[in-house]
Amino acid sequence: MSIELAGVVRRGDSEVAPLLEAAPGEVVALLGPNGSGKTTTLRVLAGLQPLDSGTVRLGGRVVDDGASVFVPARERRAAMVFQDHLLFPHLSVLDNVAFGVRRDRARAELAAWGVGELAERHPRQLSGGQAQRVAIARALAPEPAVLLLDEPFAALDAAGRVEMRTALRHRLASYEAPVVIATHDPVDAFVLADRFVVMAAGQVVQTGTPAEVAQRPRTAFVATFVGLNVLRGTARAIDGGTIVTPAGATAGLAVYSAHPAEGDVFAAFSPGAVTLHREPPEGSARNVWQLHVDAVEPLGDGVRVRLAGPAPLIADITRAAVADLGLGSGTAVWATVKATQVDVYPA
């Protein structure tokens, strides 16, 4: 089933104008700051929010024409996963997943998400990561024609996020319905999505493949959003973690991650995870690179430092830090990143 959406939802003075297409099996990431209309877009697709004008087509069938036609959520087969899992607190895990399907189907989906042994528990007895797995299992159990995810990992800690993301990516690989995932986490978007739809103030401001959007961001949000440090290389287990060595590179470029991986992978970490020093840093940090400053640019209320050398990186630091370190073009610095901050995922 495909998605075609172009319409307007009015709320008092403001309006949200969702514009989105997705082919079967395609994963679209809906990006934008809070309040930009991502959730409204998902609610329109789910059948929880009628359009004031415009059209929603699911699989070619008009399910909302902004006037006389409005197919309610229960007839759309569009499953939605909310940020705060919203498991029914009075039902067991199994009964939650079996809410719309037979129990054997529910058990199979729970097992697929590695939470089969939690079937008899109640939601309040689950960790955040477990609850979100159950919530996704519940959404997927009826084999929905459309899967909508609203910030599905936002409530999880860093480790849980990496784990969930990997599990979801694995599951979506064999999933034939279109998937729309609203997120403000760049890693989610780059790992999971085939295409980006960027929203700002209720309007769609950019669409394209991740590469297109990353290369030519048209909003400050996307510029920050895609400003990831990403390295591709070969992963090898070492000391309970992973070392990623880019093909044909010198040893100095290797990146350590605390997360397990193997084979051809991406290693990604955010510019905010980079710490800069004028002296060789002491301590246990494994990712230490000697680089020099290429450019210093204001970014939001902080500063983005572009570093050149064997590993070109971006580092986001505070203005105070720039002054303390006395950074200018050409300054020699040591950059460090904690291994726990480095995400690795299959290329």
Partner 1 sequence: MSRRRGVAALPRWAYLPAGLAMCFLGLPLVGILVRAPWRRLGDELFSGTVAEALRLSVLCATAATVASALLGVPLGILLARADFPGRRVLRALVTVPLVLPPVVGGVALFLAFGRKGLLGPWLESWFGVTLPFSTAGVVVAETFVAMPLLVVTVEGAVRAVDTRYAEVAGTLGASPSKTLWQVTLPLARPGLIAGAVLCWARALGEFGATITFAGSFPGRTQTMPLAVYEALEHAPEGAIALSLLLLAVSVGVLVVLRDRWIGGSA
Compute and round to an integer the Cα radius of gyration of the chain: 22
Q: Which residue number, 78 or 303, has a Cβ lying nearer to partner 1?
A: 78
80 binds partner 1 (CB under 8 A): yes
When binding is defined by CB under 8 A, the residue of 51, 139, 197, 235 that contacts partner 1 is 139
78 binds partner 1 (CB under 8 A): yes
Interface segment toward partner 1; rule CB under 8 A; list 88-96, 200-208, 277-285, 327-335: 88-96
When binding is defined by CB under 8 A, the residue of 23, 88, 215, 238 that contacts partner 1 is 88
- CA dist 266 and 321 (Å) reads 29
Shortest Å, Cβ 18 to partner 1: 17
73 binds partner 1 (CB under 8 A): yes
70 binds partner 1 (CB under 8 A): no
Q: What token pair was written down for 220?
A: 């400050």
When binding is defined by CB under 8 A, the residue of 12, 60, 89, 248 that contacts partner 1 is 89
When binding is defined by CB under 8 A, the residue of 116, 142, 160, 246 that contacts partner 1 is 142
Shortest Å, Cβ 173 to partner 1: 23
| DSSP per-residue codes, 21-44 | EE-TT-EEEEE-STTSSHHHHHHH
Shortest Å, Cβ 139 to partner 1: 8
Q: What token pair was written down for 110?
A: 């729970």
72 binds partner 1 (CB under 8 A): yes
Shortest Å, Cβ 49 to partner 1: 10
Instruction: Give the C-alpha distances (Å, rounded to integers) separating 120 from 21, 106, 115.
Output: 39, 12, 11
Interface segment toward partner 1; rule CB under 8 A; list 58-66, 81-89, 177-185, 188-196: 81-89
Report yes or no: 274 and 336 within 8 Å, Cβ to Cβ: yes
Per-residue interface string for the shown chain with partner 1, residues 111-130, x marking contact by CB under 8 A:
--------------------
Residues of span 196-225 touching partner 1 by CB under 8 A: none
57 binds partner 1 (CB under 8 A): no
Q: What token pair was written down for 5?
A: 């959406």
Shortest Å, Cβ 2 to partner 1: 19
Shortest Å, Cβ 117 to partner 1: 23
Task: Provide the 3-class DSSP secondary structure of residue 224.
Answer: helix
- CA dist 283 and 286 (Å) reads 9
Instruction: Give the C-alpha distances (Å, rounded to integers) separating 231 from 30, 249, 263, 287, 345.
Output: 24, 11, 14, 13, 11
Shortest Å, Cβ 90 to partner 1: 5
Task: Provide the 3-class DSSP secondary structure of residue 193.
Answer: coil
82 binds partner 1 (CB under 8 A): yes
- CA dist 81 and 45 (Å) reads 13
When binding is defined by CB under 8 A, the residue of 26, 92, 99, 253 that contacts partner 1 is 99
46 binds partner 1 (CB under 8 A): yes
Instruction: Give the C-alpha distances (Å, rounded to integers) separating 15 from 3, 6, 181, 203, 296.
Output: 21, 13, 21, 8, 37
- CA dist 163 and 289 (Å) reads 28
Chain-centroid distance, C-alpha 173: 16
Q: Which residue number, 12 or 263, has a Cβ lying nearer to partner 1?
A: 12
Q: Which residue number, 9 or 276, has a Cβ lying nearer to partner 1?
A: 9
Task: Provide the 3-class DSSP secondary structure of residue 89.
Answer: coil
Shortest Å, Cβ 112 to partner 1: 17
138 binds partner 1 (CB under 8 A): yes
User: 106: alpha, beta or left, given left = phi > 0 and alpha = psi -120 to 50?
Assistant: alpha
Which positions lie near partner 1, rule CB under 8 A? 46-48, 72-80, 82, 86, 88-90, 99-100, 138-139, 142, 144
